[in-house]
Amino acid sequence: MTRVSAGMRRCPNCGRDLENTAHPAAAAEVEVEAPLPVRAPRAARTPAAKLASLTLQPAEVRALVATSPEWIEPGLRVYEEGGSPVGGSFPTAVGVIDLLAQDDAGGLVVAMVAEGEPDKELVLELLQRIGFVRTRVARSGQEVRGLLLVERLSEATRYAIAALGGTVSIKSWRVALSFEDLPV
């Protein structure tokens, strides 16, 4: 039971409308039975704070994919020379490749992480690096393809990449938050 004073319009515990409840008008206090469990009505609760989007900076994405390329694509592994992985921040005559990797089929993958929204200049840089790998790194007949990792992409850049056929593909990254039960 909740005690409410005369003149109160709502129960302080359950929010029930007291104006339409039959009660003695002259009474100083009225007892109202509160439902269990006691909680504030939805309208009276404060809205939950808006969560900020979770994201990673491009440098963090580069570091993650260089150590775990299988996150990009199952079976993808860092390119090796002489049995040592050398594909992370792979230097070329036309610029650094963020990740040079090899897929399950033996093809080479030139992966670039975009800073901000990529434009035609970044697509051109990716094509130059693919060309370098085809002419200087790949074996004769070995497939070489590009992979652009982006947070967002304009329609114009998407159309430019679509014109390249299967040479370049695009993937975006998202950060996920999960909760797991822990044994007690």
162-181: pLDDT as tens digits: 999 899 999 998 888 889 99
CA pair distance 108, 91, nearest whole angstrom:
15
At residue 34, the pLDDT reads: 46
At residue 26, the pLDDT reads: 40
3-state secondary structure of 115: coil
In which region does residue 6 sit, left (phi positive, over 0), alpha (psi from -120 to 50) or beta (all else)? beta
Residue limits of CATH 3.40.1350.10 in the chain = 58-172
**Rounded mean pLDDT of 153-157?**
91
At residue 178, the pLDDT reads: 86
3-state secondary structure of 34: coil
68-88: pLDDT as tens digits: 999 999 999 999 999 999 999
pTM, entire model: 0.68
98 compared with 1, residue with greater pLDDT: 98
Residues linked to residue 2 through DSSP beta bridges, in sequence order: 32
93-137: pLDDT as tens digits: 999 999 999 999 999 999 999 998 888 899 999 999 999 999 999
Residues linked to residue 108 through DSSP beta bridges, in sequence order: 102, 144
- Which of the 8 DSSP states describes residue 138? S
Single out the residue of 127, 126, 123, 110 nearest to residue 156, CA to CA.
Answer: 123
pLDDT value at 11 more than 80:
no
- Which helix (H) or strand (E) segment is 129 a member of? helix 120-132
CA pair distance 110, 36, nearest whole angstrom:
62
Which pLDDT band, with edges at 50, 70 and 90, does 12 fall under? low
Q: Which backbone phi and psi does 99 adopt, to 5 degrees? A: -150, 120
Q: Which amino acid, 69?
A: P
CA pair distance 117, 72, nearest whole angstrom:
19
Q: Which CATH class is domain 58-172?
A: alpha beta
